[in-house]
Amino acid sequence: ERQLKWAAFPAHTTLEMYNLNEQQTLSQKQLKQLSELTWIDQLYNLVLLGPAGVGKTHLATALGIKAVHQGYQVMFITMEELIRHLKAEEFTRKAQIRMKRIRAANLVIIDDLMFMAMDQREANLFFHLINDLHDKASIILTSNKGPSEWGDLLGDQGITTAILDRILHRVEVIQFQGED
């Protein structure tokens, strides 16, 4: 219960609640493989791309909740909240505690990646976090923009390349389609 509380999931959704009929790009076999969670032990990342309302956050949350039940430490955070905590980390105890838990997690779920443009400092802080997590934790990213568009939002092609290098090193990308 404490791990579920610390994970800060936006809702309590499960894989059993996930309706594959509403998302044709994800097969029953893929869902089963993802739900086995072996990719977490192998330090694979999962990137869920697609428009708003197609089930990216639902799937990420459901996988995270299952991971908590399997004994993994999981943290869920929106990109907006993550940037706020990264910027406040050197000043506030609350941000320090949250970032410490994120860096110690086995699975970090970052929701709505690239929803907003970042300035140079924010992009740099995000890069350092991704670098800290690389080869130590699995990451699930949800985004309505593909990696080719991330450079525009990060504002720095060098940082974008470095982030992509770490995230895409071992990754499964699922492109969701459909409408809200």
Per-residue pLDDT of the chain (180 residues; tens, 9 = 90+): 889 998 999 999 988 888 777 767 888 899 999 999 999 999 999 999 998 888 899 999 999 999 999 999 999 999 999 999 999 999 999 999 999 999 999 999 999 986 677 888 888 899 999 999 999 999 999 998 877 777 677 776 787 788 888 888 889 989 988 775
**In this predicted structure, what is the pLDDT of residue 146?**
76
Answer whether residue 13 is part of any domain: no
Pick the closest to residue 82 from 64, 102, 58 (CA basis): 102
Answer whether residue 20 is part of any domain: no
The DSSP 8-state label assigned to residue 170 in this structure reads S
**In this predicted structure, what is the pLDDT of residue 138?**
97
**In this predicted structure, what is the pLDDT of residue 20?**
76
Could you give the number of structural domains in the chain? 1
Answer whether residue 2 is part of any domain: no
**In this predicted structure, what is the pLDDT of residue 128?**
93
Answer whether residue 5 is part of any domain: no
Q: Give the CATH number of the domain where residue 36 resides.
A: 3.40.50.300
Question: What residue numbers bound the domain in which 60 lies?
Answer: 27-175
**In this predicted structure, what is the pLDDT of residue 180?**
56
Answer whether residue 140 is part of any domain: yes
Cβ atoms of 166 and 40 closer than 8 Å? no
Cβ atoms of 114 and 143 closer than 8 Å? yes
Answer whether residue 12 is part of any domain: no
Tokens encoding 140? 């699930």
Buried b / exposed e over 119-146, threshold 16 CB at 10 Å, is: eeebbebbbebbeebbeebbbbbbbbee
**In this predicted structure, what is the pLDDT of residue 115?**
64
**In this predicted structure, what is the pLDDT of residue 72?**
97
Cβ atoms of 147 and 107 closer than 8 Å? no
3-class secondary structure, 141: strand
For the chain, the first-to-last Cα distance in angstroms comes to 31
